[in-house]
Amino acid sequence: MSERKAFSLLGLAQKARAAAAGNFAVEQAVRAGTAKIVIVASDASPNALRDISRITHYYNVPLVRFGTKETLGHALGRQDRVTVAILADGLAEAFRKELPEDASVTEVI
């Protein structure tokens, strides 16, 4: 339940090529069935949140609101990112365990 560790896991996923960052790459990963969890920045625009929520709901991929655009980008070693998908099962599960209690997670139904 460490926010710091959750960001570290995002960086690890990026280095392992088990992360997709940016709206287009995340949508492709969700449609391809490779996204295990999708992270959306808490300061994402309502339109971006609506669009990614629709696709994750349709494809039954868990969605979590976590971090800001700046902190997500920093964790990945990139510029600001609104959305990130973790593509590896083990990393996605480890990430979920490290989420803070107040993180908003939309579960798969």
Instruction: Tell me the pTM.
Output: 0.89
Cα gap 92→6, rounded to integer Å: 10
| pLDDT(98) > 90 | no
**Residue 45 burial (CB count, 10 A):** 11
Cα gap 38→30, rounded to integer Å: 8
Cα gap 62→5, rounded to integer Å: 19
Domains located in the chain, CATH noted: 3-106 (3.30.1330.30)
Each residue of 50-93: pLDDT tens digit? Answer: 999 999 999 999 999 988 999 999 999 888 899 999 999 999 99
Task: Please state the rounded mean pLDDT for residues 7-23.
Answer: 92
Q: Are strands 19-21 and 83-86 parallel, antiparallel or unpaired?
A: antiparallel
| Per-residue confidence band for 3, with pLDDT thresholds at 50, 70 and 90 | confident
37, β-bridge pairs: 86
Length of the chain: 109
